[in-house]
Structure formats: C-alpha cells, structure tokens
Structure 1
Amino acid sequence: MTDPDEIEEIMARVHRLELRAKRLVKETFAGDYHSSFKGQGLDFDEFREYQHGDEIRFIDWNVTARLGTPFIRKFREERELSAIIAVDLSASMNYGSVRLSKREMAAEIAALIAFSARDNGDKVGLLLFADEPLLYLPPAKGTKHILRCIREILATPSPAGAVNFPAATKVMMKAIRQKSLLFLLSDFIGADFTKSLATLSQRHDLVALRLFDPIEQDLPAVGKVTLIDPETGYERVVNTSNSNVRMGFSKLSRRYREGIEKTFKRYDIDHAALASNEDPFKVLHGLFQRRAKRKQS
C-alpha cells in the first residue's frame, strides 16, 4: 500500500502535469490533435437547395420531388471519438537516468493526449498492463476522470516479469468494440509485440509511442558497472570504459530500434520515439503535424 507521503507526492505530480498539459493544449496542442484525428463518420445536419458544384450523390430525391426543386443533404463531421491510452507498466518502464523515468514520461504524454481529447469533446480510456492486464478504465469524459488516469499511471505498482502484449491485446479487443484512437506507450523491450500490433492496427487507429532512456542507446564511459535486467533480475558486470563494449552495445541497440521501426512501417502504424531527457510536446507536435498532412493529401 502506498504510504501517505508517497500519495501526497503523486498527487502533487498529477497537479503539476495537469497545469502543464492544460497550458500546452490551450496554446497549440488541441489544434494538432483535432486536425490529426478525425471523427469516425458523418451526421446529418440539414437540407439545403442544390447549388452548382454540389455532389449529385447528396441529392435527396424525396425532398426534391416534394418541393419541385433539387435539395441536398448536408452533413457535419461526427467529432466524438474514444481515445484509449494503453501504458506498459512493466519494471523496465521505471528506469530513468536523467530528467524522468519512462513511466513518468508516459504520465506526461498521457496528460497531453487526454486534455487534448477532452477539449475536442472526446472520451478518454486507460489500460495499464505488464505481465498481465492491471487496470482498465472505460472511456469517459471530464477532468476528474483524466486526473484519475494520470494518477493510476504514476501509482500502480509494477509487477515482476516481462511485459505480456498478447494478454493486453486480448483485453483491448474484448473491451473496446468500436473503432477508437489507441495510443500505445511502451519501451517495447523484452517481448514479441508483432502479432499484437498487427491485430490492434486492423481494428483501431493505432499510434505507437516508444519511450526510451538515452543510456539504453549509448553507454557512457564510467568504468565497471553492474547492469540488472529489472524484469528478470539477471545481473552482469560490464566495463563501460572498453570502447569495444560500448560500440557493440550501440550496434545491438541500433539493430533493435531498426527492427521496431520496420514492424511499425509494415503495419502502417503512426509512431514516434521519445527520449526521457527531451520535451515530449515537441515530438508529438511533429508527429501530429505529419499525420495531418498525410491525411489531407
């Protein structure tokens, strides 16, 4: 059970994230979100008299026959969506060597997405998972619901064991029946996620956000260190002063990243990589702008 001091710190963090996210959303991010993620269909709005250039397929022949002049049906975009934020809370997400841990960064990203969705009239849902699904909050509206989502990302304990993407995918496919926006936040370490991505991308509008710590890509030269796998407990002493060791580590890391990128591209999944020492707003801003341009072309 989280003690009172930890609860107080978590709530203070949630409040800081709320203030920051609201400011960024108000200044820029809400527009990015709106232009990037369209509604799932069209709602009938009204009839109006046909004008030159209107599409013939929208002519309502019953109204036209009754009034003796062509009338068309006008539609408006069905704006409301459900945005589901799925967050990997396996032990490796607790690592952080710089500004934030990957879990803390996930909470910051979730706050930006959730408040953007709220300002566009969309519902927000949350799924937390690790070696098994941990928590599912169905899509709902309101600031209170969003703050609970952020709090759960920060406070839910991380169990031991590797992340289980298939189990999380099973829950999402069963619980989320309607096509939704699905933001998947993970470091994508230590698990085969290929089939899960393929399954989720077929039903939902999937956006994959890979979170990483800079040290996970390039080891600093700091002498002998003990590296511990947080999900298996495996330990190994590594001499980081050895340039061959650092070079080998960088090569393995690069190959792993290239494999992830290849998977995202194979299933046409919008994606971005976010380092824990950078401002996620800038990365998401770029991702949403690229997505909006592609949707318009």
Structure 2
Amino acid sequence: MAESQPVADGHVYAALQQLMLLEHRVRGLSFLSRQPLSSVLSGSHAARLRGRGLSFDELRQYNPGDDLRHLDWRASLRYGKPFVRSYTEERDRPTLLLVDQRMSMYFGSQRSFKSVLAAELAALGAWMALQAGDRVGGLVFGDRNTEYIRPLRSRARVEGLCAAIVRHNHALHATATDEDSPGQLDRALRECLAVAGHDSLIVIISDFAGVTEQTLQLLRQLNAHNDVLALLVFDPIALKLPDKGRVTVTQGELQVELEVGRRQLHRPLGEFLSGRLKDVATLLRRSQVPLMMFSSGRDSLEQLRAELGRLAVAPR
C-alpha cells in the first residue's frame, strides 16, 4: 500500500505557497539596520551585529568634514599633508539560514509543530535578507543529512531554499525509524563553518536538542568572524504542562502516553521540560550569540517583531 502524502496544512506540515506569501509581510523588518538601543541585538544583552563589511576604496587627501578616524598617519607623514583612507560599503553579503528539521522538531501541542514554525521563521529571515539586498542561502538538516543551498541574490533562490525546507519537513512522520542520529546538530554547524567563510549573517533556527560543549565551541567559532543569531524554537508545553489529560512522549521508536494529572508524574515531567529549556538557553548565552525564543503556540511574524525590539535586560 502506497504511503499517503503529507497534507501541507501549515500546522503539522509546512506549505510552500504559505512560505512564499510571507514575502509581503516583512517590509520594514531587518536583522541589522537601525536596531534600537533596547533591542535584543544591542546594548548589554549582546553586541550589535556588524552589518555589511567595508572594502578599501582609495587613499586620498583629507577634505574638511572627513572622518578623522580614517586618517592614514603613515601616508600623511610621508607626504607632509593629511591623507585619509576611504571605504565603500559592500553591496551585499551572504545570509545563511541553518534550519532544523529533525524528528525532535516534529512535535506541537498548540497552533503548529516546531518544525513548521522553524520553516516559517526561515522564510521570514530569507525574505528580510533579500529585501535588504543580500544574497540568501542556507543549510537544511534532518536526522541523517544536510542540504546546502548556495547563497544568491534572487527570488528564485529564496524559493529554492523554501522548497528544500518543505522537502525535509514533509519527510518527517510519526513512524520514522531512522531518526535521532547523535551529533547531527554539531555536524550541521561544522558544515556551516566550512561554507560560511567570513562576514556572513548566520541565523540558526532549531530547538537545539542534543547540544553539547562542542556545540558551544562551534557557535563561538562561527561568531568569531560572522554575525550569528540563535532562534530557539520551543513548544509551550515546556513552560507549563496541562493540569490534566494525556501527553505522548516519544524517544526514537518508543512512544509512551502519560496521564499528566497524576501528582507523582506532573511535577517531575514539568521540571524536566522547563529545566531542559533553561539549560539550552544558558548554553546559547554562554556562546555570546544573541538569542531569540519562539513558541510554536504563537504566530511567527508577531513573535519576530517582538523579539527584534525586545528590551534588553541590564546586568545586575
């Protein structure tokens, strides 16, 4: 009997048409430009993103109004008059979306599965980058493989990236038997490190299941020469378990249905889920990568707008 095709309803499975329509909903949004001082991307919470790089243009005589920080002292001393180095901003730069579509993402208790939310966030990020004039590409990874989409500045490339995300998303199913390849997150980060080079914007969208100390080192390496953002996707059940009812917990092929209303179960399970989320968030903050958190129980664009302008918490 042939296996039924996933129904792209935008809740359990992502729909390519819906991802493409997000193009018209991101106007005015940017990961880089004009971030307010209270933004998650600035101030005490995290260093400002570098933005596009500057390339050396020419060495010329100083003109009134030139930035004194660009004075070239060696040339000025040699010729006995002030010279400045002028720069031009690079027209574009690569934006890489690293999108998690592992089985750990195939879960949702409200609105959508984490895997679908990740697909929506990736599409929003891709459209934002294209509208900023940057090249767009990415790496989409499941439990066994990673697909690389080379960055280009074109609408067709965004569609190609979204199509790759949808392919991986539709490969997820509850009866999967080859999931949970240990270390796949780290392998995807290593591949990203190999293709990113310098001065890229890297947006990692994942639940960060399976993070290790090696993950921390890889994030720091990526962040040393690139702008990196971590978009942590979680299900609202990690913050608050329902008071009653049944929850299905899966680990590989094993699925167990739990009665969460039982007192001896409710507290330890709730503490485990919320504790894991805190542990992942703590590790990401140790990497010095700006962290945004997204619930699969809420609208993706609404949350992105809020996260981009979220007040930074001043250190005590």
Task: Please state which band the TM-score falls in when normalised by the shorter chain.
Answer: 0.7 to 0.9
Residue from 169, 172, 194 that aligns with 2:189 = 169
1:197 alignment partner in structure 2: 216
**Greater fraction of residues in helix:** 1
Q: C-alpha distance in 2, partners of 1:291/1:181?
A: 22
Structure 1 residues 252-291: aligned runs within 5 Å? 252-289=272-309
Q: Counterpart of 1:58 in structure 2: which amino acid?
A: L
Aligned residue pairs, count: 287
2:137 alignment partner in structure 1: 125
Structure 1 residues 153-164: aligned runs within 5 Å? 153-156=165-168, 157-158=171-172, 160-162=178-180, 164=184
What is the CA distance between 1:211 and its match in structure 2?
Answer: 0.9
1:23 alignment partner in structure 2: 24
Residue from 110, 117, 120 that aligns with 1:108 = 120
Q: C-alpha distance in 2, partners of 1:179/1:197?
A: 20
What is the CA distance between 1:64 and its match in structure 2?
Answer: 9.8
Deviations 1:59-106 (A, max 9, x none): 48769988x864533323335221111111111212222222111111
Q: Which has the higher relative contact order, 1 or 2, with Cα contacts under 8 A spaced 6 or more apart?
A: 2
Q: Percentage identity across aligned positions?
A: 22
Deviations 1:30-83 (A, max 9, x none): 3x54345411334427846432674165248769988x8645333233352211
Q: Counterpart of 2:29 in structure 1: which amino acid?
A: F
Q: C-alpha distance in 2, partners of 1:198/1:81?
A: 24
Structure 1 residues 73-112: aligned runs within 5 Å? 73-112=85-124
Secondary structure of the equivalent of 1:182? strand
Is residue 246 from structure 1 mapped to residue 266 from structure 2 by the alignment?
yes
TM-score, with length taken from structure 2: 0.76
Q: C-alpha distance in 1, partners of 2:296/2:191?
A: 28
Q: C-alpha distance in 1, partners of 2:131/2:77?
A: 39
Q: C-alpha distance in 1, partners of 2:13/2:303?
A: 26
Contact 2:207 2:232 in 1 (8 A): yes
Q: C-alpha distance in 2, partners of 1:8/1:249?
A: 30
TM-score, with length taken from structure 1: 0.81
Contact 2:95 2:136 in 1 (8 A): yes
Contact 2:14 2:116 in 1 (8 A): no
Q: Which ranges in structure 2 are unaligned for 5 or more consecutive residues?
A: 36-48
Is residue 185 from structure 1 mapped to residue 186 from structure 2 by the alignment?
no
Q: Counterpart of 1:255 in structure 2: which amino acid?
A: G
Contact 1:221 1:241 in 2 (8 A): yes
What is the CA distance between 1:274 and its match in structure 2?
Answer: 0.5
Contact 1:271 1:287 in 2 (8 A): no
What is the CA distance between 1:146 and its match in structure 2?
Answer: 0.4
Is residue 13 from structure 1 mapped to residue 5 from structure 2 by the alignment?
no
Deviations 1:96-154 (A, max 9, x none): 22222111111111111111111112111121223333311111121111012112212
2:33 alignment partner in structure 1: 34
**Pairwise CA RMSD:** 3.5
1:235 alignment partner in structure 2: 255
Q: Counterpart of 2:214 in structure 1: which amino acid?
A: K
